Amino acid sequence: MHKKSFTFIIDMPGFFDQIFSGLFPKGKGSQPVQVQEPIVRSAEELKSLQIWSYSEEAKSLYDQVYRSYHLKKAKINNKPEVHVFASAYANGFALSYQEEMGKQQFQFFFDSLKDKVIEMGYRLASSDRKIEEKSEYINTLEKHYLKPPLQDPIGGLIDQMFGNILIEYVQVNTRPSYIKVLASVYSDRLYKDAGDFNDFMDRLFSQA
């Protein structure tokens, strides 16, 4: 599988280092702290997500992001700010956080994207959180990784659907930064051609 990587460079003062210094004290020559753990939402969080998913706020945010995505493809900037990635083997977009979105709603959007991909027939391969202590800030990366259902390749080509789907949510010093969705496809002869990414976006942002 061929992938094209995309890098976000974030530089922000680390005011939160003072708080974390008590939790993760640094000794002489100590290594930066790294924490990796599975994402586990509480029953209350899942219920709140479900309520939000059927709200007017959710519909409005999905409509705004979908509109910004298509305007960005036409090289027109719009709010909320969306970045578009396009290559032969990976396509996607990133949504920059804005204060008016609210931290809770931004997380809901992240998790609801995962749920919508599962509704397309995908399986959740992993959900995890990685916290890294950088020199001047704390970087938190949450990600959902989804794959097409397991298939028996005997007798025909494997249906890769729209490829493997990676959904990432980045926070810097606990402040939301961006959410990224990336579809990476296989070019191997064992696989059918991947579905068009525009069709994936239509289904992802469908309000049905």
Q: What is the pTM of this model?
A: 0.83
Quote the pLDDT of residue 135: 85
Q: What are the C-alpha distances in Å from 83 to residues 33, 80, 96, 170?
A: 30, 10, 8, 15
166 token code pair: 């990676």
Mean of all residue pLDDT scores within the chain: 87
pLDDT in tens, 7-48: 333 344 444 444 344 444 444 445 667 899 999 999 999 999
Q: Which residues contact 18 (CB under 8 A, 6 or more apart)?
A: none
What average pLDDT does this structure show over 149-174?
91
